[in-house]
């Protein structure tokens, strides 16, 4: 007979939604799932991270997550921040098990002089700004400079380079936040330099994201800092076919004619920022040049040389990685920026924390595409089901109805599934008028107002 289980999931991003899918699919349990999300909307970085010019990716994931979300065994408590409106102790008493899928609330620092100067931002802030994250919608990025510098050359760095250089007419067809469109219409940025501390063979960006740069109208892609590797260098690398494709693409790009009137994305390799200088805001960046050496495990690392150069830039965005934040009441691994866990079970110095689990970026660190969270969530759900089987869970003390009443009493502005579906419909309806996928509501009061209007209309019918 299937075991009845009451499960809370904190966060409604990809890791949470894949966990929901695995729980619903299991024959061994009869799950009742409550999702708690600090924003009124679900889907995490699919809404607030994935670039607006990637609509197909969002559409596919939306459809899958929406299928799980509408299941009658799932409830949504949006606009409820665990750790603020409710704590771990309460959830641990109310549910048989709690899965934390809270992603990354912070970012990695460069720890170099000048990093605090105005004009130097975390990629997370700029991405949140153009994607309409309520936390970042008010930020004011000075785009009056000609050159912007992006530190790090992962996929986030390339997303930003594209958004800063792409014709605004193309962005006008996407779900980019309206305030970002306004800022980009006024932007004077003509060159984005993407700094990679290691070499071409170690570039962190993926091939499809590199290839996308070649489709940008009116944008040249320039490779600097290192000669293109020869055949012998490529054969030396481990993941060789991907690296070969990357080098082939870069060779093809560097052979293309550039045009003086075009904007430029400069992929500069073997270069690290050493210092940011400026009078009250960033004006220039001192760059140190690196060479590649292998460490004891044979991993190619960036070794600084004494060579320096200076680049003028009015905007610096550090895209060197998101980072998980400590969660009140749960053990945290400061070094890795994750909630301490073994294969998804939260552990402290005494061993597993009864009924507490993690999945996604807060479990394994801030890396991996949306699909990587499926396997990650599967491992966590398997651990949870195994504990249920072995009677190693605490038993939920409150009924579903009591939980819902308590939450509403503590936090009247909770957003239900019906509320989110009304907000979603309203955004899509607004988008349809101008042939856009949606026009995002980017502040919480307007999302709540939309949900309230919908509830009033439903009642009056
Ligand atoms: C800029 C960017 C672009 C990306 N683009 C792509 C792409 O194009 N394709 C791709 O495959 N992958 C992409 N990725 C990777 C992908 O987004 C991640 O793998 C994935 O989102 C991680 O899922 P997660 O659920 O762990 O975290 P998140 O997606 O961050 O979800 C965490 C959720 O938890 C919520 N939350 C946080 N704290 C609390 C709390 N205390 N209480 C309640 N809720 C809380 C957050 O609001 C959020 O909704 C991108 C990543 C970034 C950073
Ligand atoms: N379109 C997509 O599918 C998409 C889009 C965005 C993000 N994502 C995924 O989301 C995850 C996170 O992406 P990300 O771009 O944030 O991370 P990432 O891929 O890990 O790239 C981080 C970059 O920052 C560099 N870096 C780290 N610390 C640094 C320092 N102190 N100084 C200088 N450079 C430093 C890294 O260099 P080293 O390589 O030398 O460490 C690397 O170039 C990735 O798995 C990515 O694939 C996917």
What pLDDT score was predicted for residue 240?
A: 79
300: in domain? yes
Over residues 420-455, the pLDDT tens digits come to 999 999 999 999 999 999 999 999 999 999 998 887
> Does 211 lie in the same domain as 302?
yes
pLDDT score of 281: 97
Cα–Cα distance, 447 to 426 (Å, whole number): 10
Residue 54 alpha carbon, nearest atom of ligand 2: 1
Is ligand 2 within 6 A of the CB of residue 155?
yes
The pLDDT score that the predictor gives to residue 457 is 67
CATH of residue 162: 3.50.50.60
Q: How many angstroms separate the Cα of 142 from the Cα of each of 34, 202, 260, 281, 360? A: 41, 31, 24, 10, 33
Pocket test for ligand 1, best of 8, 42, 50 (most atoms within 8 A of CB): 50
**Contact present, 140 and 160 (Cβ < 8 Å):** no
Q: What confidence tier does 230 reach under pLDDT thresholds 50, 70, 90? A: confident
Q: What share of the chain is helix, strand, coil (3-state, %, to 5)?
A: 35, 25, 40
Do 313 and 328 fall into the same domain?
Answer: no
Domain harbouring 61, CATH code: 3.40.50.720
459 assigned to some structural domain: no
- Classify residue 456: in a domain, yes or no: no
Confirm whether 113 is domain-assigned.
Answer: no
- Quickly count: other Cβ atoms within 10 Å of residue 230's Cβ: 9
Closest CA to 166 of 142, 190, 201: 190
Does residue 130 form part of some domain?
yes
Distance CA 74, CA 108 (A): 34
pLDDT band of residue 353 (cuts 50, 70, 90) is very high
399, two tokens? 């009924």
> 193 CA to middle of ligand 2, Å?
15
Q: How far is the CA of 96 from the centre of ligand 2 (A)?
A: 36
Residue 259 and residue 376 in one domain: no
CA 407/CA 195 separation, integer angstroms: 47
Query: Which ligand is located closest to the Cα atom of residue 155?
Result: 2
Same domain membership, residue 357 and residue 405: yes
Ligand nearest to the CA of 317: 2
- Kindly report the average pLDDT of the chain as a whole number: 95
| Total residue length of the chain | 461
Residues in contact with 426: Cβ distance below 8 Å, sequence separation at least 6, in sequence order: 441, 450, 454
Contact between residue 352 and residue 346 where contact means Cβ atoms under 8 Å apart: yes
Ligand 1 within 6 A of CB of 45: yes
CB 442 within 8 A of CB 137: yes
Mutating to test ligand 1, I would choose from 35, 40, 49, 68 the residue with most ligand atoms within 8 A of its C-beta, which is 49
Residue 424 lies inside a defined structural domain of this protein = no
**Is the pTM for the entire model greater than 0.85?**
yes
Confidence of residue 12 (pLDDT cuts 50, 70, 90): very high
Checking 394-400 for CB contacts under 8 A at 24+ apart, the result is: 394/92, 394/93, 394/96, 394/354, 394/355, 395/96, 396/6, 396/94, 396/95, 396/96, 397/93, 397/94, 398/93, 398/94, 400/6, 400/32, 400/34, 400/75
Confirm or reject: Cβ of 314 under 6 Å from ligand 1.
Answer: no
Domain assignment of residue 65, given as a range? 3-105+324-415
The answer to whether residue 324 scores a pLDDT higher than 90 is yes
Whether 227 and 332 map to the same domain: the answer is: no
Q: Where are the beta strands (DSSP E) in 127-262?
A: 147-151, 191-195, 219-224
Q: Which atom of ligand 2 is nearest to the CA of 301?
A: 40
Asked, for residue 458, whether it belongs to a domain, the answer is no
Residue 256 alpha carbon to ligand 2 centre in Å: 27
pLDDT of residue 455: 73
Centre of ligand 2 from the C-alpha of residue 319, in Å: 7
User: pLDDT tens digits for 21-41?
Assistant: 999 999 999 999 999 999 999
Q: What is the CA radius of gyration of the chain?
A: 24
What pLDDT does residue 364 have? Answer: 98
Residue 272 sits in the same domain as residue 302: yes
155-198 pLDDT, tens digit each: 999 999 999 999 999 999 999 999 999 999 999 999 999 999 99
- pLDDT tens digits, one per residue of 56-103: 999 999 999 999 999 999 999 999 999 999 999 999 999 999 999 999
């Amino acid at each position: 007979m299937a075991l009845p289980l009451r499960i809370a999931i904190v966060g409604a991003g990809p890791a949470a939604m894949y966990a929901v899918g695995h729980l619903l699919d299991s024959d061994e349990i009869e799950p009742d799932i409550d999702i708690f999300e600090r924003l009124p909307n679900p889907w995490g970085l699919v809404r607030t991270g994935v670039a607006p010019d990637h609509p197909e990716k969002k559409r596919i994931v939306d459809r899958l997550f929406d299928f799980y979300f509408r299941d009658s065994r799932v409830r949504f408590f949006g606009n409820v921040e665990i750790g603020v409106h409710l704590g771990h102790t309460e959830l641990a008493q109310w549910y048989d098990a709690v899965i934390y899928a809270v992603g990354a609330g912070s970012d990695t620092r460069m720890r170099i002089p000048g990093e605090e100067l105005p004009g130097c931002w975390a990629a997370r802030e700029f991405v949140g700004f153009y994607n309409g994250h309520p936390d970042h919608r008010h930020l004011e990025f000075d785009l009056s400079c000609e050159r912007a510098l992006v530190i790090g050359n992962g996929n986030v760095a390339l997303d930003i380079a594209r958004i800063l250089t792409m014709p605004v007419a193309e962005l006008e067809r996407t779900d980019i936040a309206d305030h970002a469109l306004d800022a980009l219409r006024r932007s004077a940025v003509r060159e984005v330099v993407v700094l990679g501390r290691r070499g071409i063979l170690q570039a962190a960006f993926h091939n499809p994201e590199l290839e996308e740069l070649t489709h940008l109208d009116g944008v040249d892609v320039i490779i600097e800092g290192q000669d293109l590797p020869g055949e012998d260098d490529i054969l030396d690398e481990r993941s060789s076919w991907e690296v070969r494709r990357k080098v082939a693409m870069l060779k093809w790009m560097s052979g293309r004619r550039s045009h003086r009137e075009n904007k430029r994305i400069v992929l500069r390799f073997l270069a690290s920022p050493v210092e940011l200088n400026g009078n009250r805001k960033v004006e220039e960046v001192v760059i140190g040049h690196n060479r590649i050496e292998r460490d004891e495990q044979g991993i190619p690392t960036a070794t600084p040389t004494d060579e320096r150069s200076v680049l003028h830039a009015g905007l610096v965005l550090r895209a060197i990685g998101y980072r998980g934040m400590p969660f009140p009441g749960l053990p945290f691994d400061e070094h890795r920026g994750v909630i301490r866990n073994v294969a998804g079970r939260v552990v402290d110095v005494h061993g597993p924390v009864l009924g507490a689990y993690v999945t996604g970026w807060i479990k394994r660190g801030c890396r991996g595409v949306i699909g990587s969270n499926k396997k990650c969530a599967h491992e966590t759900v398997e651990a949870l089901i195994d504990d249920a089987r072995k009677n190693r869970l605490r038993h939920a003390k409150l009924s579903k109805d009591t939980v819902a009443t308590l939450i509403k009493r503590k936090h009247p502005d909770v957003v239900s599934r019906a509320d989110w579906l009304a907000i979603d419909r309203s955004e899509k309806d607004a988008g349809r008028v101008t042939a856009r996928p949606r026009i995002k509501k980017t502040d919480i009061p307007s999302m709540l107002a939309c949900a309230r209007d919908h509830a009033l209309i439903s009642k009056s019918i």
